[in-house]
Structure 1
Amino acid sequence: MLTVYLRSLVRDEAAVDDLFQEAMVVAWRRLDECDLERPFGPWLRGITSRLVMAHYRKQKRTPTLLHESVLEVVDRHFENINQLAGDTWDDKAIALRECIAQLPEKQRSVIGGRYFDDMTAVQVAGRFELTLEACKKRLQRGRNMLAECLKSKGVLSTSEASV
C-alpha cells in the first residue's frame, strides 16, 4: 500500500523505490514513537509524505498536485482501504512472526542476529562462524524466503518484495 501511495505522489519509479526504502528506515528508527493502538497506515504515510515533500524541495520544485489538501484527500482514501481485513499492524506482525518461525534454522538464526539483536553482518558472521559472504548470502536467502511467505499471506505485494 505504501508503494501505491508513493506512486500516487511521485512519477519517477527510481525515486519511488528510494523513498519507500527511506520511509521504512525512518519508520523502523521511530517505531517506539508509534502508538500501536492506532492505525499504522496514517502514521507511515505521514512519514512518507514528509519525505516526498523533502524530495521535491531538493529538486527545487513542488508539483501543483502535492498541495496539503490533496495529500489529506489521498490519505483519507488510503485510510478507507486500510480498514479492510488483514491490514492492521497486528495482522502484519502475526504474519511476519509466522513466516520467521517457518524459516530454516540457518536463515532464522542470521535474520534474528541481524534484525532482532541489531548486529552488523560482520558480527553475525562472527557469532555463527561464517565468512562475511556466506553470512550475507544467508541473510539474502532468508529475506527472500520471508518475502515469499509474506506474499503468500497477502501481506506483501510483488513490487514491495523486490525492494
Structure 2
Amino acid sequence: MAIGGFKMLEALLCILLGIGGLKLLHLHRDLVDVATRVVVELRLDPEGHFVNILLDKIALIGPHRLRQISLGIFAYAGLHTLEGVGLLLRRTWAEYVTLILTASFLPWETFEILHRFTWIKVGLFVVNLLVLAFLLYYVRSRSHARRNYRAGEKLT
C-alpha cells in the first residue's frame, strides 16, 4: 500500500512537471531565463560550475525536444499511475509490474557505474538491489500463500 501511494504521488508530480514543460512551450519562454530565475530564487551561485553546466545543457533544449521530454514525462506518469492503482487495489499483476520496472533500471545503473564510477552510484545500486530482493521475496511469499489458500479451498 505504501509503495502504491508513493507511486501515485510520483505520478502526480510527473503530470505537474509535464504540464509545466508544455506551458513553457506554449508561452514561448526561454528555458535558460526561467532556469536562471530558479537558480537565483534558490540562492545558488549563478556563476558556479554546476550551474553553468546545467544552463549549458538547458540551452540545447529546443521546442521540439521540450515537447518530446514532456510527452515522455506523461508516459512515465502513466506507468506510475498504472502501477500505483494496481498496488492500491492489491492486484497481483501490479506486483509483477513493480518487479519488472524496478529490475529494468539495474542495467542503466550498471552502465552508469562503469561509465563514471562513484560510491554514491554504487550505494544507490546496492539499495535498488536490496529493494528488488525484498520485492521478489514478498511477491513469491504472497504467490505461495495464494496457491496454498486455493489448494485448501479445492479440498473442501
Give TM-score, length-normalised by structure 1: 0.28
Choose between structure 1 and 2 for higher RCO, CA contacts under 8 A separated by at least 6 residues.
2
Give TM-score, length-normalised by structure 2: 0.28
Which structure would you say has the larger Rg?
A: 2
